[in-house]
Amino acid sequence: MSFYDESLKHQLEELKQNSNYRHFIELSKESDHFPHAITAQEHIPENVMVCCSLDYLGMGHHPKVVSAAIETVKKAGVSSGGSRNLSGTCYQHVELEKELADFHQRDSALVLNSGYLANQVAVSVLGSRFEDCIIFSDELNHASIIEGVRASRSDKVIYKHNDVSDLELKLSAVEHERPKIVIFESIYSMEGDIAPVRELLICAKKYGALTILNEVHAIGIFGEGGRGIANDIESQYQPDLIIGSLSKGIGAFGGYLTGSKTLVDSIRSFGYGLIFTSSLPPSVCAAALASIRHIRSSNEERERLLSNAAFLTQRLNEENLRVMPSDTHIVPVIVGNSKLCNAISKRLLSEFGIYAVAVNFPTVPWGTERLRLVATARHTKEMIEELVAALKICFAEASLGYSEALHSEDLQLGEA
């Protein structure tokens, strides 16, 4: 084995020893049975219930969405054929971008291959286009935003999570005429908390900052027609750029950004992550378009999702499990120990047929390891009761003492 393999193998072993090694669970998904899926892996029941899906509304399995994808594959084939500049701009891309701009009442929109890429490209381009720019970023912003800030080579200031006063303090310390970007998320995916979006935007605009709002976990779920948290904010405080996802509430694949024609065109023209990447397949764009059009006119899916989240939170609290406060569809349950978190997740899957992924460092800070639960719009009350009952058994037998904050390394159910 070469020096390089040996070195990397050692680093992988360290991940495993710290319970931070990621295991991928292979699922065979069937639209008619979501949130259940089939798995052929050893020591796992054949039929499992997925309780951590990002397809929050179940739109990835909606007949309209599936039909749109199938019909487009028949007509346009599987591939877009290239990057947007090299024959890869299809009719479906243009129609989807028009729909997204109208959806958010903006001048223009741009579709990218993932929400991660949308964040990384937008932040890196805009941060690098203004001389002596400084970026103000929430301390819990997504890894893609952090990568975008690094790639921009701009100065950065990290402000306390959702803390308007801390943001203002740090903005006020910078020359007013210096170019500034403030970027934050409306909903944080590991906490499930909602940012004080209006107050943060008012603060940023007071100091002349360009504002970027990541709405990926809010799109399809919050705001009129699923337009996101910012939808209800007065026009003078609206974010300059909104970044969204096509793979979560919308249930397809990809990401997008929307704003003024100049902002969007600048990212389109200078963003290497768009320029040098093959574009999304036409069928994916058609599926996303069908989903958005349904979501805009239907409240059924989001009402069911939020009702399920409230019911799950209520039942977990009744059982004295350690639920993080959340007003959203994301319901995190604190474990506080990476080995134990992995062990509980493993037992839920192997014994109860419930897939609830463990979230450990570096995704979340040490000592806050958790199960990130989602009861989608397709879960039933009976399914939620099944999940809660299994969690109760696992936590009780792990000696967590339910409401006690025990973080001992001795608390294990076995190797994860």
SS3 43: coil
Q: Is 59 left (phi over 0), alpha (psi -120 to 50) or beta?
A: alpha
Catalytic residues: 248
pLDDT value of residue 19: 79
Are 112 and 273 spatial neighbours (Cβ–Cβ below 8 Å)?
Answer: yes
- Both tokens of 112, joined, read 């990218």
User: Where do we find the tokens 């929050």?
Assistant: 56
Are 411 and 369 spatial neighbours (Cβ–Cβ below 8 Å)?
Answer: no
SS3 333: strand
pLDDT value of residue 399: 58
As averages over each run of 10 residues, the pLDDT of the chain (416 residues) reads 92 88 87 91 86 98 97 97 96 98 98 98 98 97 97 98 98 97 97 96 98 98 97 96 98 98 98 96 98 97 98 96 93 92 92 94 89 98 98 82 38 32
Residue 320: how many other CB atoms lie within 10 Å: 14
Residue 332: how many other CB atoms lie within 10 Å: 23
- Both tokens of 273, joined, read 């992550």
Q: Which among 365, 40, 55, 335 is positioned nearest to 219, based on CA atoms?
A: 55
* Contact residues for 349 (Cβ-Cβ < 8 A; gap 6+): 25, 44, 48, 355, 356
CA distance 30 to 37: 6
